[in-house]
Amino acid sequence: MHKNITKWLSGVAVVVAMSGAVSANAHEAASHRGADHAAPIVLAQADTQPAAAPGVAVTPIEAPPAAAPVAAPAAAEAAPAAAPAAPVANKGDVSWMFIATILVIMMSIPGLALFYGGLVRSKNMLSVLLQVFMIFSVIIVLWCLYGYSLAFTEGSAFIGKFDRAFLNGIWNPATATFSSAATFSKGVVIPEFVFVAFQGTFAAITCALIVGAFAERAKFTAVLLFIVLWFTFGYLPVAHMVWFWTGPDAIKDAATLATESAKAGWLWQKGALDFAGGTVVHINAAVAGLVGAIMIGKRVGYGRESMAPHSLTMTMIGASLLWVGWFGFNAGSALEAGDVAALAFINTLLATACATISWVFGEWITKGKPSMLGGASGAVAGLVAITPACGFVGPMGALVIGLLAGIICLWGVNGLKRMIGADDSLDVFGVHGVGGILGALLTGVFAAPQLGGQGIFDYTTNKMSADAYSIGNQVWIQVQAVGTTIIWSAVVSVIAYKLVDLVVGLRVPEEEEREGLDITSHGESAYHA
């Protein structure tokens, strides 16, 4: 009789444990990303039961007679539910993030370096290559020392703390474990070191973008010193304000949503949408570059002498590498190998092609001839404009953004540049500033579900909240994000340039500029007759 009672109680224990532990659809999709993912259902098993596949009912199995407990029915209790296992990173997601990180590195070196290098005169080719190469290297070091910690740890709404300085705490020698970083899906993680590396490449290419605005005339020492200051006080606060949050896993209801949101960056709390860096990367860098072009002054002979690109072949190669690498930049920002990464991928492909076409045809109509420079510039304009929108908008939204980016950025490097009157050597503001602003604002429009966008993901209900999306309200939030980035970057840049000028001087002497920075600053030449 005791044996029969034990069998019956074992079955009851399993049913009670399962009903208390199973939560259907424990997680879905990603933040503002809007993708749906099937949640792994964790079942709490009684000690005598085998592990079950997700969602599969468990049939009680009789324990061996020697192990069967002998207890009075009144004293029998259900076995306590086991604590949920910690999320384990999916190897597919991890592999994709490694690839995405490598692609972003390729964007910088050699992509951006060759794109910029081909646009300057031959006597300054190596100076630009070295500036990009060194900036990338310096920023990666600073990122690992303190940058990552200030950008992506909990602190104030404007900057993080030093909890992860020197990448401390990611490896725990006491438990022999590595920490994980949250993604945009509940219960889905990636190794934190992968996230560190991926975001570090964003910081590095952002800083490298700036040098195109004052190419061919700035001191190498001044460039490096400025970049260190601007990275610390310009890039890191904006990255924290726009991108930092604690992740979705702690969000269970309206109360926990409010609690976790209060820990996030200032612009994240407002609901600003920036999938891969329209504000953090492009507008931020473009404003810093424009301020530098104004404060350093125009190149000797600007407006009187020919300053045509010395190698559009190099520029075309660089633009092509940028386009390829940008898939890691944009699709990698989904942090998972899933539907949203696929959406960002197709949007990056389509918008860039559309911008190339619209720029070339716009140039063809206004100037009488299409040019390779126009094609390469149009591609970069499309890449810039779709960056903040790529994971939020539908493909037709990306098509419109790309077409508009080509035409409007063409005006940015011609009409707007003349209006400003600054010698922005490689049109950093005309392409990255104008394109970034355009893309950030149009994100608010085309993210609307009624226009094919993803809308806003509601973590309290774990589903899209399409009915709550307001185009007017979201565009206003985007305007605030754009304005905050412009003002922040401009103020930091003015102060940083002034400090550098006082310490080492910003500009090379006129005779060195005329001879070329390759020889006078670095003692070498890119080409030999």
More confident residue, 27 or 179: 179
- The residues, ordered by sequence, that sit 6+ positions from 288 with a Cβ below 8 Å of its Cβ are 210, 213, 230, 234, 489, 490, 492, 493
* Closest by Cα among 143, 19, 153 to 78: 19
> Region 232-240: what's the mean pLDDT?
98
Strand extents, DSSP E, 280-343:
none
Q: Is residue 286 part of a domain?
A: yes
Taking the C-alpha atoms of residue 104 and residue 87, their distance in angstroms, rounded to an integer, is: 27
Confidence band (pLDDT; 50, 70, 90) for 53? very low
Q: Is residue 434 part of a domain?
A: yes
pTM: 0.85
* % residues pLDDT > 70 (the chain): 84
Q: Is residue 528 part of a domain?
A: no
Instruction: Please give the residue range of the domain that contains residue 332.
Output: 91-522
Q: Output the pLDDT for position 45.
A: 30
CATH number at 225 reads 1.10.3430.10
Q: Is residue 31 part of a domain?
A: no
Q: What is the pLDDT of residues 99-142, one digit of tens each?
A: 999 999 999 999 999 999 999 999 999 999 999 999 999 999 99
Q: Is residue 214 part of a domain?
A: yes
Range from 174-178, 287-291, 464-468 carrying the lowest mean pLDDT:
464-468
Q: What is the pLDDT of residues 274-325, one digit of tens each?
A: 999 999 999 999 999 999 999 999 999 999 999 999 999 999 999 999 999 9
Q: Is residue 424 part of a domain?
A: yes
> Region 328-340: what's the mean pLDDT?
97
Range from 107-111, 170-174, 373-377, 462-466 carrying the lowest mean pLDDT:
462-466
Range from 31-35, 71-75, 101-105, 342-346 carrying the lowest mean pLDDT:
31-35
Q: Output the pLDDT for position 333.
A: 98
Q: Output the pLDDT for position 457.
A: 87
Q: What is the pLDDT of residues 358-411, one digit of tens each?
A: 999 999 999 999 999 999 999 999 999 999 999 999 999 999 999 999 999 999
> At residue 29, does pLDDT exceed 50?
no
CB 152 within 8 A of CB 162: no
Q: Is residue 13 part of a domain?
A: no
Q: Per the structure, how many domains does the chain have?
A: 1
Directed axis angle between helix 312-331 and helix 339-367, to 10°? Answer: 150
* Averaged pLDDT of the chain: 87
Q: Is residue 505 part of a domain?
A: yes
Q: Output the pLDDT for position 86.
A: 81
Q: What is the pLDDT of residues 485-529, one digit of tens each?
A: 999 999 999 999 999 999 999 999 999 999 999 999 999 999 987
* Closest by Cα among 253, 272, 247, 274 to 154: 247
